[in-house]
Amino acid sequence: MPIEIPEHEIRISSVYNPWEKQRRFHASPARFRLFGGAQGPGKSLALLWEGIMHCLQYAGSNSLLLRRTYPELDSGLIDHFEKHVLARCPEIIGGRKNFNRTNRVVNFSNGSKLRFGYCEAFKDVYQYDSAEYVFIGLDELTQFQFRVWEHLRLRNRCPVPGSRPCMAGATNPGGENAEWVKALWIDRKPFPGMETYQYDAKDYDFIPANVFDNPVYANDLEYIKNLQEMSPGLRAQRLEGRWDKFEGQFFGNFDPSRHVWDSRNHPFEIPAWWPKWVSIDWGFAHHTAVHWHTHGLTTAPNTKEPQKIVITYREMIQREKTGDDLGKLIADRCEGEHITNVYLSPDAFAKKESVRTIATQIGDALAPRGIPRPGMADNDRVGGWNLMYQLLELDQWMVMDSCVDTIRSIPMPMRDPEKLEDVKKTDSLADDVCDSLRYGIKTYLQPRKVPEKLIHEAKMATIPDLMSKYLYNFEYQNKRSSSTGPVRQKIVPGWMKR
């Protein structure tokens, strides 16, 4: 008997003829699919037709297609819809009248609905809570936070018999939220914060594609030339589809072959005389990132001559832990080690979960175990990022290969477009991890400026003549009073008036 082709596929094939990678995307049985990884393979078009196919196949169902903002939605998915569907085959949706441009909703003749939406901030996700969606597609997935994806999963269900709810994303590498996408589809590991039961690798399928998979552009020499002539970061991202190098990357000089200590082939034991210190970026709803560092003279695996290097040798990532619990976990991992300093994010010295600050709670757990109470970390962001960059450039900072989340996180921070010397602040794990690293490296290697009072006292000690010492001190006090505001006028002795 001849194979029966579903009616909706016959109707679509008259206007949409997907090429090989697009067909692989549509045919994948995975619950969660990721398509693309470079510029030009027809990612958005495939996502659009996937939504249309679900609406046609499951009568009375809902599908949802999202971009981060409405302007991006209009110039992308909706523009594709108007050019490839309304202009060429409006009968597929039952005629032009079935597209409500104002509400951005397609009402199919079989009762299905395809909704185009946006989700610029997390609060925007709640507008989709009133419906169930058999298919949810997110264009440029790395622009969305992990919790947006996680929340939308709750809406990815359908009462239509025989339906197969699924979700998909299309994207280029990079972007401020790329780390969770890379973890789930590229590294094929649960994103930190997920429980192990929440991740099944069989549910995730990555279909990589680039411009050469698209017959429209594969032989367009001018288009290919433009991609090849982009800056190195943008070329790696858009042409090569690399997830470790991309435009706007702050630590683009991080190279695992240079900066990750391969302990399997180069076993290393920290000498007893090397200092060890701990850095903490505290968070409750966000991740708490804790790192252990050491510093000394050694020959690293990738160098020939001994030099002083910082080694980040241990990490701990936690979430929703009280200060007391966090302090106990840190103390347990410090067992048998002599820790010289603990540097804690400044906000923890003000944040309270009870009458005690987070810093006090952590300190109360550390002190009985012989570990110093936390000191306030240096929060010089620009200076800290630049110091980390310089150490990487000089091969003077390495991370032990056991610090998996740290190794994944260092390449992820993006430059702040408003302040290029700073890292853009995000809600990502990489942000928390890199803040902890910055606190530990900057505070230990470049202590804060010596207080002016100490400089003054040191200068006073070098003046032998009492009269000169008095005049110097009098001038210093007058300068301080003029810079700090009105103070009580000092009485000048009578002998000074004569």
Q: What is the 3-state secondary structure (H, E, C) of 371-438?
A: CCCCEECCCCHHHHHHHHHHHHHCCCEEEECCCHHHHHHCCCCEEECCEEEEECCCCCHHHHHHHHHH
467 and 440 in one domain? no
Q: Are 32 and 168 in contact (CB under 8 A)?
A: yes
Which segment, 196-205, 335-344, 468-477, is predicted with the most confidence on average?
A: 335-344
Whether 59 and 143 share a structural domain = yes
Indicate whether 248 belongs to any domain.
no
- Tell me the residue range of the domain where 469 lies: 452-497
Is the pLDDT at 39 greater than 70? The verdict is no
Non-local (6+) Cβ contacts of 231 within 8 A are: 247
Residue type, 404: V
pTM of the model: 0.68
List the CATH number of the domain containing 407. Answer: 3.30.420.280
Judge whether residue 351 has pLDDT over 90. Answer: no
Query: In this structure, is residue 140 part of a structural domain?
Result: yes
What is the count of structural domains for the chain?
Answer: 3
Query: Do 471 and 432 lie in a common domain?
Result: no
Q: Is 1 a domain residue?
A: no
Residue 2 lies in a domain: no
Identify whether residues 202 and 153 lie together within a single domain.
Answer: yes
39-43, 154-158, 321-325, 369-373 — which is least confidently predicted? 39-43
441: in domain:
yes
- Stretch 387-404: mean pLDDT: 95
Sign of CA dihedral 81, 87, 91, 97: positive
Residues 372 and 430 in one domain: yes
Dist. CA 246–CA 232, nearest whole Å: 8
Least confident of 55-64, 187-196, 289-298, 478-487: 478-487
Answer whether residue 244 is part of any domain.
no
Assess whether pLDDT exceeds 70 at residue 249. Answer: yes
Q: How confident is the model at residue 3 (pLDDT cuts 50, 70, 90)?
A: very low
Tokens matching residue 31 = 């619950």
Q: From 427, 445, 463, give the residue that closes a domain.
A: 445
Q: Which of 210, 238, 266 is the last residue of a domain?
A: 238
Nearest to 230 by CA among 35, 21, 38, 36: 38
Question: Is the pLDDT reported for residue 271 higher than 80?
Answer: yes
Q: Has residue 91 been placed in a domain?
A: yes
Residue type, 317: I
Residues sharing a CB contact under 8 Å with residue 107, sequence separation 6 or more, in sequence order: 93, 94, 98, 99, 100, 113
Q: Rounded distance, CA 197 to CA 488, Å?
A: 68
CATH number at residue 38: 3.40.50.300
Residue 358 forms part of a structural domain: yes
Residue 185 DSSP symbol = I
User: Residue 61 in contact with residue 134, Cβ under 8 Å?
Assistant: yes
- Do 162 and 221 share a structural domain? yes
Distance separating alpha carbons of residues 317 and 294, to the nearest angstrom: 19
Considering only residues 108 and 42, tell me which one the structure prediction assigns the higher pLDDT.
Answer: 108
**Per-residue confidence (pLDDT) for residue 5, from 0 to 100:** 42
Looking at the fold, whether 222 and 78 belong to one and the same domain comes out as yes
Tracing tokens 């570990």 back to the chain, one arrives at 371
Whether 287 and 355 map to the same domain: the answer is yes
**Full DSSP string of 279-332:** EEE--SSSEEEEEEEEEEEE--TT-SS-EEEEEEEEEEEEES--HHHHHHHHHH
- pLDDT category at 209 given cuts 50, 70, 90 is confident
Angle at 212 between CA 210 and CA 215, to 5 degrees: 115
Asked if 96 and 201 sit in the same domain, the reply is yes
467 and 437 fall within a common domain? no
Contact at 8 Å (CB) between 299 and 306? yes
Residues 35 and 179 in one domain: yes
Which of 445, 462, 484 corresponds to the end of one domain? Answer: 445
3-state SS, residue 2? coil
Same domain (yes/no): 420, 478: no
